[in-house]
Structure 1
Amino acid sequence: MEALRKIGQTGGCLVSRALSASLHRRQTGAVPLLLLQQKRYYADPGSYVQVVRDTVYEDIAVVKMNRKPVNGLNKDFLTELNITLEKLENNASYRGVILTSANPGVFSAGLDITEMYQKSPEYTSAFWRSLQDFWMRLYSTNLATVAAINGHSPAGGCLMALSCDYRVMAQGKFTIGLNEVQLGIVAPFWFQELMIRTCGERETEKALQLDHARVLSKQMGRHQLREKLHSKQEEDIAFFTNFITKDAIQKSIGRYLEGLKNRKK
């Protein structure tokens, strides 16, 4: 609980810093606990996503992922996340988003492996497109974004965190990183470039992101990679579909899923 409280405080600080210089002042006394306050939905929550308007900074939305048990990213979940973010973008009362998990101990375990196992090429392509579309929106949104990582965040969970403007992680024995190689899957070019850009060029981006300049700097810095994926979207889908349906890869995924079953016994 203390780790979640710290994430709430830090996430609120980072979002407010990115939004406006007027919110830069350090808080004294009681600090708003963004992730522990009374829920107040801007709309009815979806199947897998809860949206809470912060009761102190009302232009900040806390988006909680809630696809039990580990927020595995399947096609429906990705589509709902994409729609949720689009609604927030189109709602002028919101200027920032904290992305976190409603499930203690795990931010997101990444892509739902079953979405890539023994599925038709048509379904696999649709699944990959849903990931591309959500990533392009999250990465290039004008909203200030913070990933409040309150648990494990491998693979696609790490991708979401890297795509946000800021990241804060709870203390504990939690893991984060791109671990696709463990399944014999090569991380797509935009996964790799995102990690390089975020970890290598982060200080410059952070220094420039203030209020209106934040939006301009963010779009200038991120437009090229987003457009690179957009221009190669069909090619990337075809590559992923052809790769993931290969017999050797399917066998590797099958062994991994079997291993997960054996752990639960």
Structure 2
Amino acid sequence: MLHSNLLRLVARGGPKRWMSTTTKLTSVEVNDKTGIATLTLNRPPVNSQNVQLLVDLQSSIGEIESNKSRGLILTSACSNVFSAGLDILEMYNTDEERLRTIWTELQNAWIALYGSSLPTAAAINGHAPAGGCLLATACEYRVMLPKRLIGLNETQLGIIAPKWLMSGFLNVLPQRVAERALTQGRLFTTEEALAEGLVDEIANTKEEALEKCAAFIGSFTKVNPLARSLTKLQFRAENIKEFEKIRKKDVEDFVALASRPEVQKGMGIYLENLKKKSKK
């Protein structure tokens, strides 16, 4: 569900154009020289994915595609976190309808990015657990800064990662490695992620990461754009088809699981631990 009417184009002069949502939880910068768009998540302090951020993300992807950019780089305005994943506050001690809404918007954001016809890359300038990893692995290429963490740690919260969420992992990791990481809720260091193939390159700064992502997208300059996008989507078609078949059931399964008393209790403990850490 795309809400491109939330976006407006703002002329700033120079070689770049800016687009921004009315809520400013995402921003888009288009380099007029290269045609590459940089989509930045901007919900301090850790880009936790609430409903509005997920809706804004979909809107920005839709706007980039409608403006026919040559590629999309996803990154974060937060200095040490790419995205901390779903906002636990939106899932804790809430009603089933709210749970349905946030999970549906997570699905929508993932399919918008995973199913994009554009070349996509993630400049991972901070930690990327859970939903942050989901967005990064939905992209085709990943560049990460040193001493950061990435992975799907849902089992640590008592939540099960559905198959469509696993598909990004399975696109880049051997099944044995992915299975062990998912069951353990493992977070990989940057160096471990590079060794396993979860990320493609390491960069020392965000600027360098953006440059490496732009170089990846630039590698398709001499490739027919339509042929490239159709080839990409053929590789991803089976995962997308399976996702569409089960997406409604997946929402209900998530609501049933997240509503369980023991899962809610686990979320409460997790939030209390975060509060304690923030006071130190």
TM-score class normalised by the smaller sequence: 0.7 to 0.9
1:160 to 1:211, Cα distance in 2 relative to 1, 3 A: farther
1:44 to 1:176, Cα distance in 2 relative to 1, 3 A: closer
What's the RMSD between the two structures over aligned residues? 2.2
Instruction: Report the identity percentage.
Output: 40
Cα distance between partner residues in 1 of 2:164 and 2:134: 10
Q: Confirm or deny that 1:243 pairs with 2:217.
A: no
Cα distance between partner residues in 2 of 1:40 and 1:99: 16
**What's the CA shift for 1:44?**
5.9
1:123-134 equivalence runs, <5 A = 123-134=98-109
Partner of 2:77 in structure 1?
102
Partner of 2:278 in structure 1?
264
Partner of 2:40 in structure 1?
64
Unaligned runs of 5+ in 1: 1-36
Match of 1:87 among 37, 42, 63: 63
Q: Confirm or deny that 1:191 pairs with 2:165.
A: yes
Equivalent AA in structure 1 for residue 163 of structure 2? F
Tell me if structure 2 keeps the 8 A contact 1:45–1:51.
Answer: no
Partner of 1:10 in structure 2?
none
Tell me if structure 1 keeps the 8 A contact 2:30–2:36.
Answer: yes
SS at match of 2:127: strand
Q: Confirm or deny that 1:40 pairs with 2:17.
A: yes
Greater RCO structure (CA 8 Å; 6+ sep):
1
Unaligned runs of 5+ in 2: 1-13, 176-196, 198-215
Cα distance between partner residues in 2 of 1:255 and 1:88: 39
**What's the CA shift for 1:251?**
0.4
Equivalent AA in structure 2 for residue 90 of structure 1? S
Tell me if structure 1 keeps the 8 A contact 2:15–2:33.
Answer: no
**Cα displacement string for residues 12-51 of structure 1 (whole angstroms, at most 9, x for unaligned residues):** xxxxxxxxxxxxxxxxxxxxxxxxx986304566420111
Match of 1:139 among 103, 110, 114: 114
Structure 1 moving runs of 4+ over 4 Å: 43-46
Q: Confirm or deny that 1:165 pairs with 2:179.
A: no
Cα distance between partner residues in 1 of 2:31 and 2:78: 19
Report the TM-score, using the length of structure 2 for normalisation: 0.74
Cα distance between partner residues in 2 of 1:140 and 1:169: 22
Cα distance between partner residues in 1 of 2:31 and 2:16: 8
When the two structures are aligned, how many residues end up with a matched partner? 222
